[in-house]
Structure 1
């Protein structure tokens, strides 16, 4: 999990944006809108400084760790977009808190940020920002310190009311629903056999903001490369150990179906494997029971051989027929009898068909 902090020059409570990524993805990109209200007599610039592991796209379209997000002349009020790039290889697994420092030069202003916890404002190079709150009166805000607004608050810069678009308030409301996101797999009570291939369905309940859904699987399960959400194909990136990273759009209210194909491979023993889905900090697991069908032909087998080579049995004993004859093999599951004169020609046992073949290694 990554926690992105927007910080000014002063200490205090700051807004935190949290995201969950698959650390093996290498790189990940997050977009966040913010509002900017600036009042200045001439040229001004608004820039940012990022720590290691975090970069952003500057006003020239370049990915950098330090640079200008926006510049201009005189008065401006607008909604802007921050595109943040995370180096997951550098950060590694675990929870990381990254602080993005922002600053304004050449003017006074206010930065507005709508996230799950509410709408935050940050006075920039100004001690003239105040909030009028019903039942409380005027609250003077120090420069460089974040403040969480309430719904009916009015924001002023000097005697002028600062109109902030609050453009991302809808996204903030969706983000606030993350804690109640529901995620579950469709029923899978069937017994899978080695080599089976079938469709599976993951259900997601919106609303939810856009983001990355991570799929992971056990060693003896193979996830297909094509996944669709409500019938629409999704962009996918290869994850770790056969997993996938799916890029999901924002989800409207209601239930949504994510479908893909899964194939089971041959495990050393029959048992349970599972597929894990991780979305917006919520996990869901799909248990898959994998049998070995005829690979688990158990008991005593009598195989027919035609060889003068000594035979090494799975139990470690050595038998010889001196030509054509039969050999009894006690074993559980798929295994081999090895002709010691030519080990490159093993005799496969543990299957029903093994007794119907004349083996001539």
Structure 2
């Protein structure tokens, strides 16, 4: 049996927007915008808004140092990152704005798939076991601009290797604060729609975070990769005779876009329209083939667990049935089920 490695196993140790957001008309390259309040007494946003600089909750002093270091690097390189991405077209820019990286040292990547702040990533980015996931349900993520958000993983599916997390806290920089203040506004996140058709051969763009440690070196040393790397390639079919819903050992979708340890959860975007075709999850060192979670598994997972989106974001934010107004329901789906 060839040794198969997951990408992130590298360590032992503010413009006004319309009420209805349509992806095809969402030209902003910013990861986050705020929906202005509709009335003088708006419903407070469910997310906890912090103003920069803030004392971030749920993070150790050692991890906050790593987060701030990554944040400064992203802020310094944001303009160059955006310029380089624009060369690939506006769909790639939307992908960049919708992709977030884990702030911890072990790397990992996630993609926003709903303007309400629902993030999709691989289950093993939150833990290789149920116990590890339960102990680390909350993580801090960073956008390419350095914007920091805290998410809580509410659905963890080891068999599909998928996790669904919701933004619960946002650290808002000064430039995103409106004259009325974002506390009275609804946050709207850049997001990537699922592809309307499955493909196993389409040209793709992969956006992800390479790990900082060079695991190909005999001596300990760091890589020279940027925190966010964009690569191009093509889907290379599926593993034959394997259930596409079972990605627990290795991703059933194959692709050849460049990735490194830490890319787990990176979106695989159809190059022609920027829609989501899969998530990078793993690689096979016997073939050098990259693997991922296919669209068919992602759609089944989200059909089961993503709350119904509202076309009108104001109605969604104010609805008493809105998920954020409920106590979180933690869902665990283990491969042993």
Q: Which has the higher contact order (CA 8 A, sep 6+)?
A: 2
Q: Which has the higher helix share?
A: 2
Range of TM-score over shorter length: under 0.3
TM-score under structure 2 normalisation? Answer: 0.26
Q: TM-score, normalised by structure 1?
A: 0.24
